[in-house]
Amino acid sequence: MVDVAYSRLLKTLLNLSTVQDAVQKQGAVEALLDAWSIVDAIHRLRELLQQMPHLKRSLSVNLFLRKTTTYKDLRNSIQHLRGDIAVMANKDMPVWGDLAWVTALDREGKTIRSCVLVSGTIRRGTHPILNPLEISTTGPVGSVTLIHNGHTVCLGDAVQFVAKITASLESALAKQIGNLPKTPPTSGADLLVTVDLAEVETSESSSAEGEEPR
């Protein structure tokens, strides 16, 4: 889920930073939706790892939990808006936070555009913008950063954290279950069931004789 949301987010942010009317075409909503989806998914993964008695004390799990502590704080902050929203409103803080990133406008990376998306209508306030000189990016969009209620996270780092802990989990689970293939066929892990319903016309004779339609 983290990987899918982040891949989609990068495409949306590239569009937002290069197309003038992209914000008006739900681009801002899509970006914030995927950004906060990543936060929620990492929080759920943290909760899951802490319920695995044979894994939760491993070095890789402890490292992941330590590096993603802010995601727990972010999730709790947005989850408890009822108590925080008045304070945030008085400070003119956007409810869904700021989303900052950089976009390379050419393949050589000689021209970098630094962007910040402020959710909602803000009349005043300070919103950080990234310094391209302090950032190295390997793609057209990089350093995607979410800032909310005093918390700041780099979502690109989160993807790397999840990738590492996933590889570690697969190895640990293979030892527990045994005889698992080195590369499990994830394409067969999900099940989709569909049922088609079609309208069937009843005969006039059946209705004429007082029979119930079938």
- The residues with which 33 forms a beta bridge, in sequence order, are none
pLDDT tens string 12-30: 998 888 876 656 668 888 9
Backbone dihedral angles phi then psi of residue 185, each to the nearest 5 degrees: -75, 85
Q: Which residues 6+ apart lie within 8 Å of 81 measured at CB?
A: 95
pLDDT tens readout for residues 150-186 = 888 889 888 888 988 888 777 777 666 665 555 555 5
Q: What is the CA radius of gyration of the chain?
A: 24
The pLDDT of residue 113: 83
**Model pLDDT, residue 34:** 95
Q: Which residues contact 117 (CB under 8 A, 6 or more apart)?
A: 16, 23, 28, 31, 32, 98, 99, 100
Distance (Å, whole) CA 183 – CA 63: 24
Instruction: Show the low-confidence residues of the chain (pLDDT under 50).
Output: none
Collapsed DSSP state (helix, strand, coil) of residue 131: coil
Q: How far apart are CA 203 and CA 52, in angstroms?
A: 60
Report the predicted TM-score, pTM, of the whole model to 2 decimal places. 0.74
